[in-house]
Structure 1
Amino acid sequence: MTLRDLARRSFMIGGSLFVVAGFWLLHNGRLTLNASHSLPEPAYLMWAWPKVIWKGAVISADPPAAYAARFDGLLFTKRVVGLPGDRIEHRDGAVCVAGECYPLALKDGAPFAPALAEGVIPDGHYAAFGSSADSLDSRYATVGLFARETIRAVGVGTTLVPHWKELKAWADAHGY
């Protein structure tokens, strides 16, 4: 095999991999902008397949039934802190998952909603929280655990994209 043949084959293989990766990304990938302060990153690189969910992954899921009408057409984007088999406990006004505790938001001196029930996270369910105490997430019973079938995408946070408010300010300043 000559150097030219090797270069040609390498180019064909590299190009084919690039095309396959591009089609996968177009079909399964999405960029989710952060619309709240419940997570620190301004955006998330998400994919719909494969749905490999790990502790620390960011998920986008259908809104829980209690909030479906209020958040119609939107997805809840939270970070996974509890996997199936992890234990949920209550300590000092906080919900603890696998030993890590997350405080409940208070309204008039009491938690604004009932805490998630203590127990073990069942198969096919995940505890996902925001990073702020007032995040509407799994620490509250009205949200609960996220079932695998309600999770639409999995991903990671990125700071490569500015926060949507910065993008809007730029667009407004330029007349868009």
Structure 2
Amino acid sequence: MVAALHARRAILECADDDDWRPTVAAFSRTYLGITRTDGQWLEAVSTALLGDWIDVLATYSPDGDGTLHHLRREAQTVHRQLMPLWQRKSGPGRVWMLDYRLPSGETLHEVVCGSYRFENDVLSWSPDRHDAGAVFARLKEDEQHVARAFALGGGSWAEAAVATGLPAQLGERVMRKFRRLGLQHRQRQAALVGVA
């Protein structure tokens, strides 16, 4: 409790903006168990220290464990609030800023606001790995569109087929064919290694 009050006083009485940082960083590490003392965490802990934790002193035991738990939880909440949206996870993925650059070279803003068509990205993509490219080349043109849509958009194979304007059943068929061709390619490569 004394350390928390000392850290709070350091924030309130600082003459320079950086004077309070070492005291709050030491308090964070020692008493709150927050080992990262970057700017965001220090800001979060200082906000929590300046918050209403003194009001909860009456409800917790004098040993301070409840108060420290309250401070830690408050600092974590403030840290989450200070974190930019594009650094947070949202469901299974992340929130991207509109100026995020896609592999095609366009930004999300250009894609959303421009005359974007899914086929533009789909037609320009090809696998990076040599073995995947060899298998990919053995697919028919419409099957390649589905495989590209799956690689770029994620989701299921059925969703990739629908995104390219083809029936959902074609997506599952392409998946099975792609796997079968991949297995054949691996067997051929293994046979070539065995011969050499």
Normalized against structure 2, the TM-score is what?
0.23
Larger helix proportion of the pair = 2
Larger strand proportion of the pair = 1
Give the greater-gyration-radius structure (CA).
2
Normalized against structure 1, the TM-score is what?
0.25
Larger relative contact order (Cα-Cα within 8 Å, sequence gap ≥ 6): 1
